[in-house]
Amino acid sequence: MRKVVISLLAAGSLLLTNTAIHANVTEGQASQTAAPWTSVNEDSSYTYEAVEQVSASKATIKKGTFKTKYNTNIRRDAGTKHSVVTLAKKGSTATATHQKKVGNQTWYKVKVNGKTGWVLSTLLTPAKAAAKAPAKKAPAKKATVNKVSSSKATASNGTYKVKHNSNVRSNAGTKNKIVTLARKGTTVKSTHQTKVGNTVWYKISANGKTGWISGTLLTKTTVKAKAPAKKKATKKASNSSAPSNLVSNAKSHLGTPYKFGGTTTSGFDCSGYIQYVFNQSGKKVSRTTLGQFAESKTVSTPQVGDLVFFAGTYRAGISHVGIYIGNNQFIHAGGRKTEVVSLNNSYWKKHFHSFKRL
């Protein structure tokens, strides 16, 4: 009888022990299951870009070979909130198999570094496009299409107005270097004209510099438009005031708190601030830093009102933007508030990428 009792007690103890062990294992598994759903906290020292949570479309076939423009994160799925599976160095070859949209952004599924993941399409450039441009063909194209000798030009006396903000080039043709920017509404007089393909180019003077501009960017002035000097001065003043108005609008929001994803005066992030100030000044721009970078043109010498871009602040590639206000300074939404910062600042000097103009 005593042996039976001892056996029953031992069996009960073993059953309780197994139950406890099973409970611990289950709890451990639950903990491990929960971990992948924990959000990742990125370095918030300089977090400038809003990430909008949007549903992704279904992937479709996309074939192509690309090169990465910058050191670029390859992610587990389309969207910046997904984990990074590998870092593709600038110039790495990426082979695409699928594509899908997340909001207004297109993402490609690629294979790079022996791993497969998703990358934003704007961070890639087609590999074949670069290979198709042999060094010998470039001069030939320049000579036949763009290098039009001024000796072949004919006299042309006319007065025109510039339809849009337009580049004035050293010679007729879009491949020639830019000598100045003619603002929209500027009155110019032509002295010569010539043809490049089917386009007529005019030799004009603007901003004290002489160069060539496409006739498609000019409109012939009427007799009424031949205004006295006072009217020209008024027109010139309104053109030159545009950048100063933009800067005035930008400075009016100094001290506004930084807010991740912010697009209003209650709080801005960097690209939300740019969009708000430009909209306030009468110009619509994209919401994101990458969108603003894509729709602007690179300039070597910045003017007041140009955009200044930075790379590698909290992610690879273009990641921050501000407005150039002169004297080697820019205004931006960063850190804790909207503020004016010098480009000589050690942090921003290290991450500076380029000046661009909308």
Residues acting as catalytic residues: 270, 320, 332
Alpha-carbon gap, residue 89 to 22, rounded angstroms:
46
Polymer length in residues for the chain: 358
Range list of H helices, the chain: 2-34, 127-131, 137-141, 229-251, 270-280, 289-294, 346-351
Residues 6 or more apart in contact with residue 33 via CB below 8 angstroms = none
Tokens matching residue 340: 């004016």
156 class by beta-carbon count within 10 Å (0-12 exposed, 13-18 middle, 19+ buried): middle
Residues 6 or more apart in contact with residue 250 via CB below 8 angstroms = 273, 277, 323, 325, 331
Buried/exposed code over 247-261 (b: 16+ C-beta within 10 A; e: otherwise)? bebbeebeebebbee
